[in-house]
Amino acid sequence: MVREYDHHRAMPSPDKRRISAHGFQGYERGDQEGKMITGLDHVVVLVGDIGAAKAAYQTLLARAPAWQNSGEGADRVLFTLANMTIELMAPSGFSVTADRMRALLDDQEGVLASLCFRVADMSRMHRRLERVALNPDPVAEVESSDTETGNVLHWKRTRAATELTRGVRMFFLELADERPLSPATDIAPIDALDHVVVTTEDSDRAAALYGARLGLDLALDRSHQDWGQLMFFRCGDLIVEVVRRPVAGSDLAHDRLWGLSWRVADIDATRARLIASGLDVSEVRNGRKPGTKVMTVRSGTCGIQTVLLERSPKPAE
């Protein structure tokens, strides 16, 4: 049984100081179980209008959908890039699943709704989630057929209890076969995801979740008076960025999925393409990390906070 909403049809190094502070001393950087998450498989964006969202992300990414599917109270469009997939999902018809999605949307154009991590061995991942008290659902065998081609994908999936993951919906998936990639449809496409941003008001407990419990390596922990505290957790070749910006009256018990930072090869060319498509974008500016350039996309993202990032090439050795 899959709680809240189904994605598809279900079928019959962490920081030692923080870990110790929260009682997870057994899951430190050397623990092999902590390496079972191999990357971020996909993020789910709930949208109110699947057709409009599909068109918006075709423009933003300059890529065609890789997979389209309907059923179980939802319409879905997936774009698969070099290192992850973004799944657009809209409620369809009248069912418990569709009503839950509408409640989560709450009349917003779109909501960054969940993270789905790729794992190498679902049985071992499920045991680990039980050991670190994240109360996973029973493993489900899932299949999805593409509306356009009729091709079928199979995977295994579980989900951690949202009340134990600080309010961020987290799924864990073992794919039997890789999804097809989304082909480029224009110049200067978006190539990959660079990082997904999570905001928190309790950085110690967030570090315990992403580092100690999930086993992601803490690559950076830095504070600054202007932008608060940043923690970078490696997840495959992208980053889960946890940001703490203290706000009066904020929720200490729940974190929030905040936005996406996409990786591009030529940010000036991508900016010119987006402007030509009628999108509202910022000027290009230097990123916080030396050797990076960034820009903000202010429209055409279904309300999802969106940044584009270009990394300078590494010097030849």
Of all helices (H) and strands (E), which one includes residue 60? helix 50-61
Query: Is there a shared CATH topology between the 9-175 domain and the 190-311 domain?
Result: yes
Q: Looking at residue 35, what is its pLDDT? A: 74
Q: What is the distance, to the nearest Å, from the Cα of residue 300 to the centroid of all Cα atoms in its chain?
A: 18
pLDDT digits (tens, 9 = 90+) for 232-285: 999 999 999 999 976 655 788 999 999 999 999 999 999 999 999 999 999 999
Q: Which fold does the domain 190-311 belong to in CATH? A: 2,3-Dihydroxybiphenyl 1,2-Dioxygenase; domain 1 (3.10.180)
Domain 9-175, CATH among 3.40.190.10, 3.10.180.10, 3.20.20.80, 3.40.109.10: 3.10.180.10
Q: Rounded to two decimals, what is the model's pTM?
A: 0.88
Identify the segments of the chain with pLDDT beneath 70.
1-34, 246-249, 314-317
Contacts of 111 (CB under 8 A, 6+ apart): 45, 46, 104, 105, 303
